[in-house]
């Protein structure tokens, strides 16, 4: 174990910062995830939206990886006893050009269950290489949501419909959910991505407000039970604090 790893293991400091994509994810962390992780032993859990929406290449899109990586690297260096993670949608990650996210283009050819883990490994490898030999890789836990945050909401279609004040849509949401092995398998074309399916059923769907209300109604336990990749992320975060 290197010097940083030994220091980290000895002190077991439990400060977590989630680098995330937007207001919906920020509310999810602040209103749902924070209390749970604090109850599991974290001293502090914070959320930081990646960059400024006005500076993104397209409305709703995430910033280029070099910019995001700089934010993560700066955080890891500024607080040597912290843990950093991400919460970003696989669907919207840039695949081409200087802003491409590591592993995203290659992941498109993989089976669904391997897409996000492949991108996450590439992100971890890139950050570890940038941080240098003294860095403890357990301090960075990349997480990519399959395929979008809205996919997680199909974990409990009754809760989803109640949360947005449209209980009559439960059956329609359930019909979408029943097409796939898990909510994380709801696919990512411009027509059939989770958010597109929701928008077809809920014209004017406002993700920051309605998505947050739905997640609060559904709760963490249901999402963990129905979404194995999401659950594996929380297992990793739990393991960092023993």
What was the pLDDT predicted at 145? 96
State which H helix or E strand residue 37 sits in. helix 34-39
- Residue partners of 123: CB distance under 8 A and separation at least 6: 86, 101, 102, 103, 142, 144
Query: Are the beta carbons of 216 and 163 closer than 8 angstroms?
Result: yes
DSSP, collapsed to helix, strand or coil, labels residue 233 as helix
Alpha-carbon distance 133 to 150, whole Å?
A: 38
23-58: pLDDT as tens digits: 999 999 999 999 999 999 999 999 999 865 444 444
Query: Are the beta carbons of 226 and 171 closer than 8 angstroms?
Result: no
What was the pLDDT predicted at 4? 52
Nearest to 108 by CA among 93, 97, 121: 93
DSSP one-letter code for 140: E
What was the pLDDT predicted at 81? 85
Query: Are the beta carbons of 186 and 129 closer than 8 angstroms?
Result: no
What is the residue-level pLDDT of the chain in tens, covering all 242 positions? 454 554 444 355 589 999 998 899 999 999 999 999 999 999 999 999 986 544 444 444 588 999 999 999 999 999 988 999 999 999 889 999 999 999 999 999 999 899 999 999 999 999 999 999 899 999 999 999 999 999 999 999 999 999 999 999 999 999 999 999 999 999 878 888 999 999 999 998 988 889 999 999 999 999 999 999 999 999 999 999 86
């Amino acid at each position: 174990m290197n010097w940083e790893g030994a220091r980290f293991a000895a002190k077991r400091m439990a400060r977590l910062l989630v680098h995330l994509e937007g207001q919906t994810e920020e509310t999810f962390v602040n209103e749902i995830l924070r209390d749970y992780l604090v109850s599991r032993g974290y001293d502090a859990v914070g959320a930081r939206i990646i960059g400024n929406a006005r500076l993104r290449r397209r409305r709703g899109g995430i910033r280029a990886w070099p910019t995001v990586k700089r934010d993560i690297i700066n955080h890891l260096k500024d607080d040597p006893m912290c843990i950093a993670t991400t919460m970003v949608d696989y669907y919207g990650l840039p695949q081409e050009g200087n802003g491409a996210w590591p592993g995203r283009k290659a992941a498109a050819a993989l089976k669904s269950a391997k897409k996000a883990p492949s991108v996450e490994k590439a992100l971890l490898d890139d950050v570890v290489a940038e941080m240098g030999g003294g860095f403890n890789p357990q301090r960075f836990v990349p997480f990519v949501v399959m395929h979008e945050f809205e996919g997680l909401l199909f974990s409990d279609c009754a809760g989803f419909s109640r949360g947005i004040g449209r209980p009559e849509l439960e059956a329609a949401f359930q019909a979408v959910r029943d097409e796939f092995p898990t909510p994380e398998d709801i696919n990512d074309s411009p027509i059939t991505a989770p958010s597109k399916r929701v928008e077809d059923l809920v014209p004017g769907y406002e993700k920051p407000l309605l998505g947050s209300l739905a997640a609060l109604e559904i709760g963490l336990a249901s999402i963990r039970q129905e979404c194995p990749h999401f659950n594996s992320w929380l297992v990793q975060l739990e393991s960092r604090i023993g």
